[in-house]
Homo-oligomer: A and B are copies of this chain.
Amino acid sequence: MKKPHEGSLGSKVASRVRDAIIHGDIALGESLSEDLLAEVFSVSRTPVREALRQLEVQGLVELHTKSATKVFDPTPEQISELCEARFVVEHRAAALAFAKSPAEAGAELSAVVDDMEQCIKNDDMQGYGEADSRFHDVFYRYCGNRYLVSMYDLNLAQVAALRTNLASLSPGEPHRSFADHRLIADMFSEGQADELEETLRAHIHRTEENYVAALKGMRENSEESRLSVLKRALRTDRPIR
Contact = CB atoms under 8 A, between A and B. Distances in A.
A155 B59 CA distance: 17
Contact of A66 (B2, B86, B154): B2
A109 to B, nearest CB: 21
A65 B154 contact: no
A150 B85 CA distance: 10
Contacts of A121: none
Interface in A1-25: 1-8
Contacts of A50: 49, 53
Contact of A151 (B49, B56, B67, B154): B154
A154 B150 contact: yes
A49 B148 CA distance: 26
Contacts of A78: 146
A27 interface: no
A71 B57 CA distance: 20
Interface string A59-103: 100111111000000000010011011101100100000000000
A44 interface: no
A145 interface: yes
A66 B1 CA distance: 9
Given A4-B64, A65-B8, A66-B2, A147 B81 contact: yes
Interface of A: 1-8, 49-50, 53-54, 56-57, 59, 62-67, 78, 81-82, 84-86, 88-89, 92, 144-148, 150-151, 154-155
